[in-house]
Structure 1
Amino acid sequence: MLKVIFYTKEVCSLCDDAMALLHMLQHDYPFEIEERDIYTNDEWLERYQLLIPFVKINDITLDCEEVNIDSLEEAIKKYARE
C-alpha cells in the first residue's frame, strides 16, 4: 500500500489543514499516512523546520508552499494504483 510520509509538529494550523486534506483523499485513494513529528528527530527538525507541513510520496515532495488539494491528489494518484 502507498505510504504518505507527513512531517509535522504540534500546534501547527497549516499541518492540521494538510492532514485534513489527506484524510479527505483517503476516501478516494488507498494509502496510509505516517506522521512524523519533527521535534522527535534532530535531523528532521534541521531539515524540515521551515518547510512543514512537508509531505513525501515516493519520489515526490511537497513543502508548505506546495501542499494543496490539487498537488496532493496528483501525487497520490500517480502511485495509489500501482
Structure 2
Amino acid sequence: MIKLILFGTQGCHLCEQAEEMLNSYLADNNDIEIESIDIAEQTQWQERYAIRIPVLLHEASGSELCWPFDRLDVERLVAMISGKYDGKR
C-alpha cells in the first residue's frame, strides 16, 4: 500500500479540485491511500505549504507534487515510488 498525504485547507477551491481528481484516481487504484491534512493545524505546515497548496506528498521518499497536477502526474509519482517508472509521461 502506497500512502500519500494531500496538504490543503478549507475554502481552497484548488484543493477541492485536487480532491475530486484524486477521488476519481482512487476509485481505480485500491493500492493507494491518501490522507488529507489541513495546513492550518500546524504552523510548520503553514510555513512550508501556504503558497503551494494543494500539495501531494509521499513522506517516505520526500517526493512532492505541487498544484497544478493531474491524473497522469499522480500515476507517474506512484510509478516512481513503486519503482515502475519508465521515464515517459
TM-score bracket relative to the smaller structure: 0.7 to 0.9
Structure 1 residues 64 and 25, CA gap change in structure 2 (3 angstroms)? same
The answer on 1:60 being equivalent to 2:57 is no
Which residue number corresponds to residue 87 of structure 2?
Answer: none
State the Cα distance separating 1:15 from its structure 2 match.
Answer: 0.5
State the Cα distance separating 1:63 from its structure 2 match.
Answer: 0.9
TM-score, normalised relative to structure 1: 0.85
Which residue number corresponds to residue 10 of structure 1?
Answer: 10
Tell me the percent identity. Answer: 27
Instruction: Count matched residues.
Output: 81
State the Cα distance separating 1:31 from its structure 2 match.
Answer: 1.0
Q: Give ranges in structure 1 of 5+ residues lacking alignment.
A: none
The root-mean-square deviation of aligned C-alpha atoms, in Å, is: 1.9
Q: Give ranges in structure 2 of 5+ residues lacking alignment.
A: 85-89
Could you tell me whether the CA contact under 8 Å between 1:6 and 1:53 is conserved in 2?
yes
1:21-76 deviation line (CA, Å, top 9, x unaligned): 111111222211111100000000000000000111243211123x2221112112
Larger radius of gyration: 2
2:72 to 67, 70, 73: 70
State the Cα distance separating 1:81 from its structure 2 match.
Answer: 8.7
Report matched runs for 1:29-68 at 5 Å. Answer: 29=29, 30-57=31-58, 58-65=61-68, 67-68=69-70
TM-score, normalised relative to structure 2: 0.79
Could you tell me whether the CA contact under 8 Å between 1:31 and 1:80 is conserved in 2?
no
Query: 1:60 corresponds to which letter in structure 2?
Result: S
Aligned partners of 2:38, 2:53: CA distance in 1, in Å? 10
